[in-house]
Amino acid sequence: MSIPVFCALLLTALAAAMDLKEHRIPNFLAVAGWIAGAGLWMGFRGFRGIPVWFLGSICLGTAGILVWRLGGIGAGDVKLLSALGGMLSWKRGLWVFFAALVLTVAFGAIILWRQGQLALFWPRMKKDLSGLLDRNGKNDGEEQTKICFAVMLFLAVLLRAAREWWWLH
């Protein structure tokens, strides 16, 4: 496991614990992640590491804003994603982001199945996606299934760490 992935694992573990307990991610975690990411990349590459950090932060922050616009995640999750992108680089960061999205959809389907509401899953997804394309955003009047996205990010970083460990051994 690389140092950036280990640091991302620590950051997402703290964020997941706070998200589960308080249902919010404090700003100091995102700021700490941005500072740690900048420090990591400057330590690896000197000042040439700043563009890597910046590009990763912008890529994952933009992806997070798109999902936030759908109503899928909160603003704290967007800031956490941006910090993760700065830590991991854009390539690893997008891998973690898409893995977290897949995990979120899977866990959401399981939760709805356990509640006996699985038939509502695809119509909700279709409505939210069409709302985004129509520039209306999310439908605030409709009840949503709440899933702590920071937990899914932690699981996705854990998968990334396992993948890197497997490739190294």
Provide, rounded to the nearest whole percent, the portion of the chain with pLDDT above 90.
60
**C-alpha span between 4 and 160 (Å, rounded):** 11
Mean pLDDT of the chain: 86
Helix (H, G, I), strand (E, B) or coil at 149: helix
| 42 CB-near residues (< 8 Å, 6+ apart) | 49, 50, 53
CA dihedral 87, 90, 93, 98 (to 10 degrees): 170
pLDDT of residue 128: 66
The whole-angstrom separation of Cα 168 and Cα 59 is 27
- Would the pLDDT of 145 be above 70? no
What does the pLDDT read at residue 99?
96
Amino acid 110: pLDDT: 86
Q: How confident is the model at residue 88 (pLDDT cuts 50, 70, 90)?
A: very high
Give the separation between CA 162 and CA 79, rounded to whole angstroms.
Answer: 25
The mean pLDDT value for 87-100 works out to: 94
More confident residue, 59 or 124: 59
> How many Cβ atoms from other residues are within 10 Å of residue 14's Cβ?
19
Return the number of other C-beta atoms located less than 10 Å from residue 31's C-beta: 12
Q: 29 or 131: whose pLDDT is higher?
A: 29
* pLDDT for the residue numbered 14: 96
Give yes or no for residue 138 having a pLDDT over 70. no
In this prediction, residue 105 carries a pLDDT of: 85
Pairwise CA distance, residues 125 & 80, whole Å: 24
Buried b (16+ CB within 10 A) or exposed e, 113-148: eeeeeeeebeebeeebeebbeeeeebeeeeeeeebb
In this structure, the dihedral spanned by the alpha carbons of residues 162, 157, 88 and 90, taken in order and rounded to 10 degrees, is 100
Please tell me the predicted confidence (pLDDT) of residue 129: 67
